[in-house]
Structure 1
Amino acid sequence: MRLFEDAAELASMTGQEIGVSSWHTVDQTQIQAFADATLDQQWIHTDPEQALAGPFGATVAHGYLSLSMLPYLASQVYRVRGAAMIINYGLNRVRFPAPARVNSRIRDRLTLDSVTDTANGRQLQFHHLIELEGSEKPACIAETVSLLRS
């Protein structure tokens, strides 16, 4: 965990990797809970028996499950001491190059792309590379925008 004293110290890291989260195992219980929450019950996510004969040889996490893990994984990478809050503001680009098979491990490699001062606070643009253990391709690549308020 990297602790920044204030938004200015974080901004000094623009264009640099902030850090890497711990590995997180995506198990069938989490995949099923996500399917239940989103009502996306496609068999490649929820039916382990049918998925054995499917294109991935096992169930796979929803791409949006990998995406939804960004706040959790990024919270392991950095914190800004002087921040009242950091809220999700949006996404600019998202891709899912490789499926995260059940019981695979993912982690977030986080880079700060830009910081822009706005009337509502500092807008932070991050590049997230959700690495998939044992795979040359990541599970997710995302460009996120957050709003930091001090």
Structure 2
Amino acid sequence: MSMAVGEDTYLTVADADAYFAARNVVGWATAPSVAREAALLQATTYIDGSYAFRGRIVDPGQPLSWPRRDAVDSEGRFLSGIPRRVEHATAELALTALAGDLAPPLERGGKVLREKVGPVEVDYMPDAVSGRSYPLIDLLLKPLLRSAASHEVKRA
């Protein structure tokens, strides 16, 4: 499979390999190359679909959210290219993607209204949050997000 940074993904397999080697994460290196590529693609898709970044895309025809123009981080520093935080978030999500789908069918969680044990039945409050959250990814990307005042994460 041929992947291009900026076209398909935010990070090459070689860069992800180096990222995890520096952190002594063995599970990444033992995965087949094709699985690592697929995980990086899935991570990039998840990031682009889940987060609203500051600035505007450079070219209306570009396939990914980065690079961006007029993008600054929470400290006011101008960003060019693909920020290191986006690369790191892509790597971390790709590691998670090796273990399974990043956006599986939604499950209601947290606010159980009623639970019956036999035969099993669960009812959730209407405002129960569905889906998964990735706190590390949220922390990595937080300084790049549009809602700087509240640092809210936009999830699809």
| TM-score interval for Structure 1 and Structure 2 normalised by the shorter chain | under 0.3
Greater relative contact order, per chain length (Cα 8 Å cut-off, separation 6+): 1
Alignment TM-score, normalising by the size of structure 1: 0.28
The structure in which a higher percent of residues are strand is: 1
Report the structure number with the largest CA radius of gyration: 2
The structure in which a higher percent of residues are helix is: 2
Alignment TM-score, normalising by the size of structure 2: 0.27
